[in-house]
Each structure stands twice: as structure tokens, then as C-alpha cells.
Amino acid sequence: MSGQPTLAHLHGWDGPWEGLRVLVTGFGVTGFSAADTLAELGCQVVVVDAAATAKKQDDAATLTTVWGDRLSFRFGSTDPAEDPTATINHFDGQNPELIVTSPGWRPDSPIMLAAASAGVPVWSEVQLARRLGARPGARQPDWLLITGTNGKTTTVTLLEAMLTAAGRRAVACGNIGMPVLDAIRDPEGFDALAVELSSFQLHYTEPPGQYEANPLAAAVLNIAEDHVDWHGSLKGYLADKARIYEGVRSACIYNAEDPVTEQMVAGAEVLEGARAVAFTTGSPDVSMLGVVRTEDGEDVLVDRAFLDNRRHQALELGTRSDLGQLVPKHLVANALAAAALARAAGVPPEAVQQALGSYQPAEHRIQPVAQAEDVLWVNDTKATNPHAAAASLSSFSEVVWIAGGLSKGVDYSELVQQVAPRLRHVVLIGTDASQLRSSLERHAPQVPVTEVPGGDDGVAVMRSAVAAADTQAQPGQAVVLAPAAASMDQFASYIARGEAFIEAVAELMRRKGFNS
């Protein structure tokens, strides 16, 4: 486009977006929202996606009906030479001036390498949303950001509930389901956005510029080795996670029990006056949130950060029992992180406690599904990495562990060493369980292992795994599905894996004459 201003000037709904050549990579939920937004702005948009599913074809037809020739689509082909995701040249011989990418598109994919070679900027949908801000006339929200290896969805959901309990118009968005672009396009606007961010989104999100609203507060819940294959190294993964603190104007929330998160805060470029605030599942010091045990054994969640007399006082935010009956340590940590973000936004203690009391555990995350013969069956299919599996298994004293799946280039040694004293038997699933089996042989040789034969029929595999676990489980023990691996080798998703487990346990209970 002749005379096109630099991308630094692309901000606000009335900015010079008209005619800008934008390539949108990926046409899932995020890609749809990005394409719709960019077309509304008047950009010339081409969407590329490797898969031409019926839903994507229908969604493309919907946007074409609304925006006409502002949009065009290039879906995957069976011919590799015609793969639209291998090149950025989709504008009649010209390169795009901007790429907006969906989470998950690896930096070493052909299209991203082509963008880097051509010097084309790549933004996440979060970056685009921050450039735009709320619609003219709508309220501008405070951004409250959350990332971490595990616990993001639980924390962002709790944060949304705390903000809502305080009478704020708030929404959980980002990696949790609703795209950030959908939130900022709301005609009324929000008082606050509780934004879950993955490391993938953060990789393609720049620090706030002079035209963007700086986040009010941000939190990193925990850090463990994950997605190393995507980021290229653990160092790259950590660097992308640390981006969340850039430009924070009020509070950087970190985990006092995870030194890496504190180091991220120490190295962050924040606005003058931003504070470092920690959370801990132990007794808190000044400028921390934590847990105090009363004389009668009650665990009370308290705030020693967001009050004037924090050296000598603590505000009660609720109790551990407010969260339910089965409250593992990591859930307490997530609740404290959410409370810290809420308190940074001025939410009163009583609203925090109201949200804790109404909390309902999410499906597939340390979800009790049956109890019979004094054996508890627990579905934690969402524990897709060693850190999440360790948190899950540490919630029980004696465990029959169902584990395995698609490894993501991680080392299981630390996990096995940590949980070995709790393990009574391990049932391995997955098309290749060699890495996990090897770690068990080295670090928990005393623990017996049953390996379920691999195959493409995940339902049958899970049925066999549950049957094997049943023959080993003793009264007082828990059978826990915490795979420490992705699901795609034998299941469509981690949810499908969890549902297969639930159904297999229900079938077992029916055979035994119990109501699951």
C-alpha cells in the first residue's frame, strides 16, 4: 500500500488499517476472531490453514458473506507443493505487511521462517487486541495476566469470579476459550479482563508500546520443563513466559516456592511504582499472600501485601475448606495467585471469599469419579506434563498411577524421584512408553509396572488400563490417571482420554455392582 505508515502507528480503531495486507495463520477460534476483526478494520486479509474441515469451510463462508472480498481463504491440499502454509506470498506477488498468528504455530514452521526472512512482523491476537483497545465509547479494561506451566485455567476462572463478586464487569479470556479480540470488541466493554496466556501467545506478543494499555498486574504461577520442542530450548521457554511481566504498572505476582518466577520479576522492565508480590502455601511474610493455620487446625488464606499496616496485620481472604473437600496444595496456590491479582485490582476481601466459596472444580483436573472398596478413582487427564502430574500424585499418600502418552521431549527423572515413595503400582499406556519406563527402572525400581499394549483404539487401551489398575489397587489407595504426557498418540484430545477413563471406571463399577 503506497505511503503505508510504519506498524508502530497502527493503533486504535481509527488507525490507518485500511488496505493493510495481513496474513492470518490458522483458522480455529482465534483465527476466526482475528480475521473478522481485521476485515472490520478494512484490511486486505488472507487466511491460511493446513486443514480444510467442514467447520472451517462453513466459517469461511460466514465471514465472506459479511465482509465480501476483504477476505480470502487458502486451505490445505493433499499435494505438498500446494501447501498454503509453506509460503507467505498470497497477495498477488506481494508479501503481507503483517502476520497475525494463532497459538501453536512454531517459529521453525516454513511460514514463520519465511516471515522472518522477509522481515514481516508476526503478532499474536493478544498483540492485535492491545493495539486496538476497547471500541470507541466503551470502557477501557484493566488487563490482569496469568501464565505458568500448570494451573492457568483454574486461576483465571477464580480471578473472574472474584472480580464479578466485587461488582466488576469482567471476563476470562485468552487461552481459556474466548479470544481476547472478542472481549475487546464487546460494545459495552469490561472493567477488567482476566487473561490466560500460553507461552505460544507470549512468544508473538511484544512489550506494550506507547499506544497500548500496560497491564495492571501479571502472575507466573509456576515453571517446569514443557514445550521445549516448540521453543527450541528451556531457555527459550522461560524467556517467553517472562514476557508477561513487561510493562506491568501495579503488581508482579510470583510464586515464592518457585525461584524461577522471582527471577523473572527481578529481570522485568516494569513501570515505576510496580511492586513484587509473592504467594506461598506456607506462612506469608510482608508483601506476600499465604496460609496461616489456626489453633483448631483451620487453614486460613491471608493477605499481607495489599493493606497499609502489612507489617503487623493480615487480612483474611477465606479458608482452605471454602474450596471444597479435596483441596490439593496446588489448588491453594492457584487461589492465592488469583486473590493477589484481584487484590491488585482493588477487590475487597469479602468478594475474594465469596468466589472461593462458590468454586467448582473443573472437569478432568483431579476429578474424583468413583469410590468403592475404599479405593478412590481420580481423573487428572489434564496433567499433560511432569509438573502437573507431580502436583496431582502428591495429593495422595498411596497411588496406583496410570501414566504415559505422547512425550513432548521432557525428562521424567525428577517426577519419578519426587513421587516414588507414594507409588504402589504403575500402569503404562501410550504407543511409546520407553522414556517413562526407563525413568521408573532407574529411580523407582521397587515399584511394579504393568504395560498396556499400544494401539490406536484409545477406548480399548483405557479399558485395559483400568482393569489392570483394579487388580492392583488396595483399600486406602487412589487410582490416579495423571499421564504426564500429551494424548494425541491414542486419543483425539486430553478430554477424550479423560472421558474414556471415566467410562471405563463406570463400566468397572457396574460390573462390580457399585454405583459410580
Q: What is the pLDDT of residue 4?
A: 39
189: which strand partners? 139
The domain spans of the chain are 7-120, 134-357, 367-508
Residue 408 assigned as binding residue: no
Residue 329 assigned as binding residue: no
DSSP 80: G
Residue 30 assigned as binding residue: no
- Tens of each residue's pLDDT in the chain, 516 residues: 334 335 888 999 999 999 999 999 999 999 999 999 999 999 999 999 988 889 999 999 999 999 999 999 999 865 655 678 888 999 998 999 999 998 878 888 899 999 999 999 999 999 999 999 999 999 999 999 999 988 898 899 999 999 999 999 999 999 887 899 999 999 999 999 999 998 889 999 988 887 788 999 999 999 876 556 565 577 888 999 999 999 999 999 999 999 999 999 999 999 999 999 999 999 999 999 999 999 998 999 999 999 988 888 899 999 999 998 778 788 899 999 999 999 999 999 999 999 999 988 777 888 888 989 989 999 999 999 898 899 889 888 899 999 999 987 778 999 999 999 999 999 999 988 899 999 999 999 999 999 999 888 999 999 999 999 999 999 999 999 999 999 999 999 999 999 999 999 999 999 998 864
DSSP 6: P
Give the tens place of pLDDT for each residue, 465-513: 999 999 999 999 999 999 999 999 999 999 999 999 999 999 999 999 8
Cell numbers at residue 509, please? Answer: 463399577
Residue 205 assigned as binding residue: no
Query: Please, are residues 478 and 396 in contact by the beta-carbon 8 Å criterion?
Result: yes
Long-range pairs of 443-446 with CB within 8 A, sequence gap ≥ 24: 443/413, 443/416, 443/417, 444/416, 444/417, 444/420
Give CA separation, 221 vs 64, 236, 258, 507, in Å. Answer: 41, 18, 8, 37
Secondary element (H or E) of residue 290: strand 288-293
Q: Is the dihedral of CA 82, 85, 89, 92 positive or negative?
A: positive
Residue with cell 513501570: 271
CATH assignment of 367-508?
A: 3.90.190.20
Residue with cell 495429593: 395
CATH architecture of 7-120: 3-Layer(aba) Sandwich (3.40)
Query: Please, are residues 51 and 74 in contact by the beta-carbon 8 Å criterion?
Result: no
Query: Please, are residues 302 and 279 in contact by the beta-carbon 8 Å criterion?
Result: no
Q: What is the pLDDT of residue 226?
A: 59
Query: Please, are residues 378 and 473 in contact by the beta-carbon 8 Å criterion?
Result: no
Are domains 134-357 and 367-508 of this chain identical in fold? no
Residue 87 assigned as binding residue: no
Cell numbers at residue 256, please? Answer: 515464592
Q: Given 3.40.1190.10, 3.30.390.10, 3.40.190.10, 1.10.8.60, which CATH number is that of 134-357?
A: 3.40.1190.10
Q: What is the pLDDT of residue 171?
A: 97
> How many residues appear in the chain?
516
| Angstrom distance (rounded) from CA 128 to CA 131 | 5
Report the candidate in 192, 199, 195 with the shortest Cα–Cα distance to residue 223. Answer: 199
Q: What is the pLDDT of residue 3?
A: 40
Residue 280 assigned as binding residue: no
Confidence (pTM): 0.80
Give the tens place of pLDDT for each residue, 418-449: 999 999 999 999 988 899 999 999 999 999 99
Q: CB under 8 Å to 196, separation ≥6 — which residues? A: 146, 147, 152, 153, 155, 156, 172, 173, 174, 175, 176
For 407, phi then psi, to 5°, come to -70, 145
Q: What is the pLDDT of residue 188?
A: 92
